[in-house]
Structure 1
Amino acid sequence: MFLKPYRPKSSAALKGSDSKKFRQRVETAFPHVAVDELVPAKAAVTQVKILTHGGVQSMVYCVDKLPLFFELDGGQLVPTLYTLWTIPDILPYFTTHEGVLPKLTNGADLMLPGVVPLGVGLSMYGHYKKGQLMAVNLTNNKSAVGVGQLARSSDELYMCGGHGVAIKMLHLFGDKLWSHEPSLVQQIPLVKTKALSGEDFPALGSETERRKPASAASPAPVTFASVAQTEELETETAALTLESQETPESDEEDVAETSPELILKNAFLAALKNNGKKLPLPLLTSNFYRLYVVTEAPEQIDLKKTRYKKLSNFLAEMVDQGFIVVREESKGVDKITSVDLEHPEVVNFITDVKASEANGAASETPLFHSELKEMYIVTDVTAAFFTKLNYKRGEGIPAGQIKKIVREYVSKHSLLHPLTKLVRPDDTLIELYGNREASLSEMCSLITSKMEHSYQMCSGKDTSGKPLIQMSLATRSGNKKVTLVSNIEAYGIILAEFIKLCKQGAAASTSVVKLPHQKHEQLQIQGNQVRFVHTLLTETYKVPPKCILGLELAKDGKKHKKK
């Protein structure tokens, strides 16, 4: 429903009474949910009327700009992924395998072979009705990746022999509704599932099986064996009691692990790990803390609650441990002049972070807008036609490129009749769709009908056919130089994130300027930041240097002394 771009028609903030009615709707639709967790009484609720790519009108409800619900045709409220991540049990779940997610993001519905059964027999797909709202998660992550409606009831799913559609997908991670407000987009929170072990499946007649409490209806007779088992149970209970007495120590260790000092130290190490090579040294210690350390902390840092009390005391200890070198430029003005990225603690911290990323943690802020492209896959039937144009079997071709390929083929083989402007089929085309003359549009439709229709999630990293990024310098009021950057939005770059990186890395004011009589916006950065912007685009965003103009305007970095 939201895989293709939709068009917002209107947006209106709900008044107090309307907001109250919306809260009541949520409470009625999901009575087991605490509404205050989702829609606080004083939250700003916005109603956005949209027109989907398929021409269907729908309503999206945003709370503090974050989309939390959307409406179906009959007015039914459907929670978004952000709602499911806040209150996971708002909907029941079907679980699928990790490899199925790319197929869902390509536009497919969740098929029954991809569903992990909930049990055995008639209960293997639960007890749900047709049209029931269902969330979808993965075998390696409990967090939802999509939401949809059951195509058939649970009983019908069981009876259809493991074939057919299970859930008609409505909303998915990575679609346009997920990125409705680019500045607030979130990645899938990692909530790991408990790995099953042999203890979960005790052998019949084993000690674990025998130790299960007997039912009150049929008390077991007292025998010597049962007395022995009772003694064993008493011994185990005593052991468990001793273990429970040791628990407070482990709790104390957990508290120690999350102490304010450790949170501050980890944020400091993360700042060096993520930004060490990009730090614009020498850098004010206050700017380093405000722009780099604070942003890496998982929760707010209160220096007064640590044993350091002041930032200078903490940094003095980091200097003593060899992480950084700080120089006092003038009274009360300290700057970091160098950092040691080869410090053992920094190296070990980097290894830990990489391990968490390998386990599937998706914590990085996205740099690019996601774009869903309509594709057609070259099938066995159409392979003879497309291989002549250097396309392989199974390769995806963007929908907008099919007509261009058809024109190229017709022109290359001189198949267009000069009078009728119809295409006369050659042997390849006759084998593909029969011996009939057709216009270019009809020919495209005939060919695409023989291909597999799909979607592909793309980012802005594809640079083909895009305008060059232009950097220039200008003078503003007060004879101040500013750097102007144009066309970066054409590369799918999220402006809000790019501005944040400019403010952090260049420590310069950055804003978006609307040019008169022009459709696109321009980025304005205080000072000559040409070299910084070029480095940011080529290293962080991987934009090829050939796509960027204006590097010659960068400062040479040399300061000439006055004689």
Structure 2
Amino acid sequence: MFKNEFRIKSSVSIKGAEQKKLKATICKYFNLSNETLDTFLNQKQLTQLKVITHTNDIVKINCAQNVAIVFEFKNKFYPTLFMVWSFPHIFPRLKLDNDGKSQLKSASELTIKELRSNDANNEHILSSLPVDQCVSLCTISCQKIIAIGYLTIDGNSIKDSEKSRDKCLKVLHYYDDELFKSHIKSSIPDVIYTMEREFNDAPELNDKKMYSEDIQTVVNKMDELLMTCSLKALKYSIKKQMLPILASTFYKKYVMSFCPEGTELDIKKTSYKKLTSFLQLLDKEQMIKLNVSSNGIVEITQVIQSNSKLQDLNSDDNPALKENLDQFSPPVKEIYVVTPGLYPIFSEFLCRKGDKLTVPSIRKYVTEYIKKYQLQDSTNPSVVNTNNVLKKILSQRKDNTFISIKDLIEEITKLMYRTEIAVFNVETTETKKSLKKKINHIEMTVNNRSGNKKVTLVNNLELYGIDIIKFSKECQHGVAASTTINDIPNEQNRQVQIQGSQVPFVYKLLTDQYKIPVKFLRGYENHIKKK
């Protein structure tokens, strides 16, 4: 991965909550105690580099005082050589002979033949290793760890395979690659020299029993996590109207959503290995009814809510779960499409023509572009001195030699194609429905009825996924006035009618509780003008 030079995209300091989160992740992935990690870091300044490799992979490298310690690739964390030299036993170690060692610089993957050395150590360690297991590689002659990688085939398959030329191990980081040279050896040359001299006295490899126990612990924890998330999904997410539901949809959309933040749920790391095997267990324990068709399609046809395990689940025992169930997520977001005219800016951040970006992403990329080419005015940092690319984009302006950062972001946003996506919270459908076009705003109007009585009318609520019955009750209790739900001819969405002039209350309810952006509301500004 770091065989060739990589480009640093950004560098930021890690402080406060982010630093605590990173430390907790390192302790979890590498089985270290908080005290051990704190002693190792010794209050060093932590930074995160976002780099782009020669294969266009984006990797996050976490450094302590400019020394790389761990890197994140495809949402998984791996140690650098400096980290694994400091803690040799955080991952299983496999031995390489001289032929395998010579392949590290020329190939990014090792074959089964290269991993099968004459040393008996590899045989008993491989038997307990699953696929995707991170391993370190050392030489037969000494305990010097020379590479970090992960298995692409499980250990038993490597032992039993007759195809010795098949690839089985992906090498991510090795001794003397660009990461080691630029962010380890060059930063602490004296420390590295001392550590290399001590490798001959390094402790022996862990025995088979220890690794087997570690792997079994991981499997048990993953089994428990899968069962917990599945039970919550069955009780709180799957409604009767949604059945039958595909097994794959149930797992990806509902089970995974209950996985705690920072925890990875992987069905392959459980004892079941396959989702069908796990669902058959739930069927046997009478939690669900499973149907497997003749062409192999697996569906859940019924959820048996009377099962004791489902009955024992209680959201009150888990405040985070209860909050998650009650929380209303805003269903509308704006997406902008990268146009050919703006490609020179966004191509700097690996965006292509037609890619969809949110407003925060546009703001972030434009700001990074300004900093990269040092376009900020020295006397006024809020002003940008335009280069040739920006002048071409701003050709319609009379004076395009300078512009404020805020106006520049607005101008770029105006030049992009906009699409508003609304997500409907309809329980009768299996998946959420998306509408890629402009949608009507929520309208709040005050009308006069007979006897000069005023009523507030709210339209298009259901278009934004709002439960109209629940909303009318909240208005009724909030303003102590009667509410009515009206069916409007030739309209798909119903109307809520509230007695009295209640626009300010409705506005506050929609923005505070339902998190509807103000730009999708109409009628409140008219109420202000009347005042």
Asked if Structure 1 and Structure 2 have the same fold, meaning a TM-score greater than 0.5 normalized by the shorter chain, the answer is no
Using the size of structure 1 for normalisation, the TM-score is 0.32
The one of the two structures with greater contact order (alpha-carbon pairs below 8 A, sep at least 6) is: 1
Rg larger in 1 or in 2?
Answer: 1
